[in-house]
Chain A
Amino acid sequence: MDAYITKIKAISERLLKDGTVEAVIGFREGTLPTMSEPCFIKRSDDVKDLVWNANCRINLANYLTNRKEKIAIVAKGCDSRNIVNHIIENKIKRDQLFIIGVPCKGMNDKDTGALQDNCATCTHRNPVIYDELAGDLVEEQTGVDKYADVKKVEAMTTDEKWAFFNNLYASCTRCYACRNACPLCYCPTCFVDESKPQWVGKGEDPIDVRTYHFLRAYHCAGRCTDCGSCEAACPQNIKVRQLTKKLEKDCAELFGWEAGLTLDKRPPLDTFSIDDPNDFIK
């Protein structure tokens, strides 16, 4: 980690000084022992504030949406995949970016200090796209079962699933931290905020709460990189990845697709192919 940050600072300082970029997006020290704060550094003198540690869990691709300037961004494996998504979805241009890739060994859960759930099964710790690396590439994990928890839910009866999801979202306050921490959720007006027509009620009705979660998850299908930003952001510790992971699994099984790995292919849900599986049409 120490070696990483020395390199991140050196690269950032160089880029700001020689005018390659106007700003660097990274993390600075937090005020709590288990937190780091995303930051936007514009002056080379401020590069000293940058940190890198196991609390850099929020996905920084989220801060790139529709920016116009030339920017350097510190990107671990999952952030880099969401940068790929952003480029494909025209939210930022590749030539605006200088990606400082950080090979990652996982982020820690802010409450337990243990490796975050998504990091424990991550198979893309190395950035998939970068201009310069802050450290040597790390070995990718193999033989992990990414979907053990999804399979458990799949094996449930309908009643059990109903109870499971009721329970999962019972304490949700609809603060929308999960949505807002997600780099995929950049719609100018989210469907839950629309009023003409109003798709969902805004009160505490559990049907409305679940409608929000289910629809948001579907909007992430084929795009979600399982970065875990949503879950890390949730103040109620709700396992919001249970839904997005199921869709991630479906995309892998139906289309052989993993999101954010390449700039050269359109994601399966925004294109048509004659080979698309049609088995769901009965």
Chain B
Amino acid sequence: MMKIINIDKQKWAGGVESLSKSYRLFGPVKDVDCHNFKELKQGEQPDLSYGNTKLSPKSVVFPPSEAMFTYSLDESNPEHHILKDVPKDYSPRAVLGMRPCDAKAVSLVRMNFDTPEYRDPYWMDAYEATTFVGLACENPCASCFCTSTGCGPYNEEGLDVLLVDNGNAYIAKALTEKGEKLLASGGFTDAGDASAVDAKKAAAEAKITAKIETDKLSEKVIMDLYDAPFWHDVAFACINCCTCTYACPTCWCFDIQDENKGCEGVRMRNWDSCMTPLFTMHGSGHNPRDKKHQRVRQRFMHKLKYFVDKYQKGIMCVGCGRCVQQCPVNLDIRTVSKTMNDYVAKS
């Protein structure tokens, strides 16, 4: 039975204060001209009046740059050339006010980091330490198309709590035990009533008019799409930056780098991007994706075909619209998806 709690907005700040005693808190805060998720400093409040953040909150469990090991190359050190784990803080943390699309993205990314064969310890330990508190969207941005990606402005997948802004109060739906625990620890105990939610949800969904067409993707033959003639035209404008992949909540690729200072070193992993030539450069110097259209094709084939076929859970995109808004040359995943969806190979 899902618990519904009423959070009077007057009590929100105090509740956040209490939460900060048992959780490391992350929330949207305004940088210079946009919002981003940051770890909240003591006494800092998340700014829940934001539209959407420039970068997604994926960084809370998947930092852009993360130290994994340290090592010493100093042979007078008896432990030289031995990788040592970097101590990590996996004490409970909570993301406050993330958008439902970004939460769904976390569950998509989990499919990659938590499989029967492999468990990525860094991502999974951070994920398990986190309680995800969502904030339903009342005023989706013009470039949001979440309703056609199997998500939506009130979507609950991946969340532990969903907050719905109801004027003077938030209606809080505790969706998991973790969520209930967080609400209790914030001192949010007033019983609430979710009767207003359905109408608000329908109103928010109705505001989303942008769409992505994906219905025929799963029936296409992979090699037909791969060999389709449109990739050069699709890719022409692309400058192969990492804007789209860094902004995307569902992009999970990383690179491993060693950095030394003198004899002491750190092995870290950094976000990587399939859009750069370096991503696939082999040690031999051969690069299987050395052309721009090959890299662009990879990004869209992964999101819109390989992922679709592998997991049968739809596309690897939640429709947050970040890549559409931020791409410097307006390469739009919705246009590409339509091109792929409509494509019929000549027999």
Contacts and interface: CB of A to CB of B under 8 A. Distances in A.
Interface stretch (A29-37, A96-104, A241-249, A265-273): A29-37
A58 interface: yes
B51 interface: no
A154 interface: no
B204 interface: no
Contact of A237 (B33, B247, B329): B33
A35 B326 CA distance: 10
Contacts, number: 95
Interface stretch (B124-132, B158-166, B185-193, B232-240): B232-240
Contacts of A37: 237, 329-331
Contact of B247 (A62, A193, A235): A235
Contacts of A174: 242
Size class of A's contact patch? 20 to 34
B91 interface: no
Interface in A136-187: 171, 173-177, 179-181
Interface string A198-219: 0001111100000000000000
B198 interface: no
B255 interface: yes
A38 interface: yes
Contacts of B64: 173, 203-204
A30 B332 CA distance: 9
Nearest to B237: A38
Nearest to B266: A203
Contact of B330 (A32, A40, A234): A32
A21 interface: no
Interface centre among B32, B239, B331 (most CB of A within 10 A): B239
A259 interface: no
Contact of A31 (B33, B34, B241, B335): B335
Contact of B328 (A58, A171, A173, A204): A58
Given A171-B31, A177-B241, A193-B278, A30 B246 contact: no
B37 to A, nearest CB: 13
A31 B242 contact: no
A190 to B, nearest CB: 9
Contacts of B273: 175
A37 B255 CA distance: 30
Contacts of B65: 203-205
Interface in A233-261: 233-237
Contact of B243 (A38, A177, A193, A201): A177
A175 B236 contact: no
Contact of B257 (A36, A180, A201): A201
A62 B51 CA distance: 34
A37 B331 CA distance: 7
A31 B328 CA distance: 12
Nearest to A171: B31
B334 interface: yes
A278 B233 CA distance: 50
Given A39-B237, A62-B239, A171 B270 contact: no
A40 B292 CA distance: 14
Interface string B13-53: 00000000000000000011110100000000000000000
Interface centre among A177, A205, A237 (most CB of B within 10 A): A177
A112 B54 CA distance: 16
A144 B326 CA distance: 31
B149 interface: no
A233 B328 contact: yes
Interface of A: 30-32, 35-40, 58, 62-63, 171, 173-177, 179-181, 193, 201-205, 232-237
**Pairs A-B, 6 closest by C-beta atoms:** A233-B328, A177-B241, A203-B65, A35-B330, A180-B239, A235-B326
11 contacts: A30-B332, A32-B325, A32-B332, A38-B237, A58-B328, A171-B31, A204-B64, A204-B65, A233-B328, A234-B328, A236-B34
